[in-house]
Structure 1
């Protein structure tokens, strides 16, 4: 029996990258996992199939975030498969590398809608589904604490807002025994960073050089931190910002 046996998890943006790594790890620990995706149904089904292939339990939910009514639609889809959730991982997010002089209002509004507004209302609409003693884990970014990539200013701002949400939500939900934490990855080897890491040799070398551990992170590196916070072992950690950058901020 895994440490999360009998629990249900919802991971947003779980069809690929960090989200897929988290979904697979939580399932390996025994949780039944709702694999949310925005548009890539095929990738979500691949994640579900990978979980089931090793004896885990999962189901896919397709709802595009950043649109009016997205949180309600997500929970309505979830309700067709489960009657409550123990672990909520707000992982879905979009980024951008436009400098301040180029970003326009539409793009700014979109990144805040997906990265800040959606997690807020997913929690808000899910309060009666989130079981006492549960977990809320928000995937932040090392960029909320460093100006190392200033062209991602709007994206970094959204993660700073998400960290404040984490901090205050921990006090709002603490009386129910629910912990709330942010996990902040650094540069992780996913399809989102493929151009940087694999487009040129210099990109990969630079990314490895800024880590105190001398390598680029993997989705599993982040997923293991999330799994700790989701387990009983993480019961006394709440309201925290957990650095999962591999020492990139040192």
Structure 2
């Protein structure tokens, strides 16, 4: 299936590892040129850029702290002017701290909220002037947005906010820009493996209909679909990709 992404320009945050990295690679394989945005992991971002160039697409590196609104605006403005604009924006930058509910400190709360929720807002707001007509935005939330999480309540709260930020943006930016959300279950990323380490050994078998955790590419395929013209009549939606964890 041709998703219609050939020659498009995509900006992916959190693209140096995990789901963001898998998304950047798949976008390139579908023919898109990709801005590989990262926070601290420049080495990982360079590796992804090399893979993108290996399939014949252009890659740009763009480092910024999503929690710093001014830094986000400056970086996106610079790369937006360099590329001439974006057809796809994937907001995948995220951070989690596994802490029991009663032990979450104010600093931990602020850090997790600022990266996962405020950072998404800063990124989308800064990118709007550079999003071309017909562009698509995909945010990456979590199954925790719907289920809650006793050992990372701040993360669950931020991701629930992101789901509704997505809906608000979809209403505000229509009909020129589509905005959707993917809510993954646990994927075997560096952050996901830390979560798995704090779960009972039989969690996947007992809680997930598919009885396993996701590979990052399985989440990325859904993101790339929503980012593509193949999903041209989808906006304001949240796609649950959780192996049957949360059937409502």
Cα distance in 1 for partners of 2:213, 2:79 equals: 34
Query: Is this contact kept in 1: 2:204–2:212, CA < 8 A?
Result: yes
Query: Is this contact kept in 1: 2:28–2:55, CA < 8 A?
Result: no
TM-superposed CA distance for 1:79, in Å, is: 3.2
Cα distance in 1 for partners of 2:88, 2:63 equals: 18
- Which residue of 2 is the match for residue 186 of structure 1? 185
- Which residue of 2 is the match for residue 38 of structure 1? 39
Cα distance in 1 for partners of 2:113, 2:79 equals: 24
Q: Which sections of structure 2, spanning at least 5 residues, go unmatched? A: none
- Which residue of 2 is the match for residue 128 of structure 1? 129
Cα distance in 2 for partners of 1:87, 1:172 equals: 17
Query: Is this contact kept in 2: 1:61–1:77, CA < 8 A?
Result: no
TM-superposed CA distance for 1:206, in Å, is: 2.0
Map 1:1-250; keep pairs closer than 5 Å.
3-79=4-80, 81-147=82-148, 149-176=149-176, 178-197=177-196, 203=201, 205-250=202-247
Task: Check 1:104–1:195 CA distance in 2 against 1; reply closer, same or farther (3 A cut).
Answer: closer
Cα distance in 2 for partners of 1:128, 1:68 equals: 15
TM-superposed CA distance for 1:50, in Å, is: 1.3
Paired residues, number: 246
Query: Is this contact kept in 2: 1:2–1:28, CA < 8 A?
Result: no
TM-superposed CA distance for 1:202, in Å, is: 5.6
**Where do 4+ consecutive residues of structure 1 move more than 3 Å?**
199-203
CA deviations 1:64-116 (Å, max 9, x no partner) are 22124132132134136311011101100111221221111122111111111
Cα distance in 2 for partners of 1:79, 1:4 equals: 18
Query: Is this contact kept in 2: 1:108–1:154, CA < 8 A?
Result: yes
Task: Check 1:76–1:174 CA distance in 2 against 1; reply closer, same or farther (3 A cut).
Answer: closer
Query: Is this contact kept in 1: 2:66–2:123, CA < 8 A?
Result: no
Alpha carbon RMSD of aligned pairs, Å?
1.9
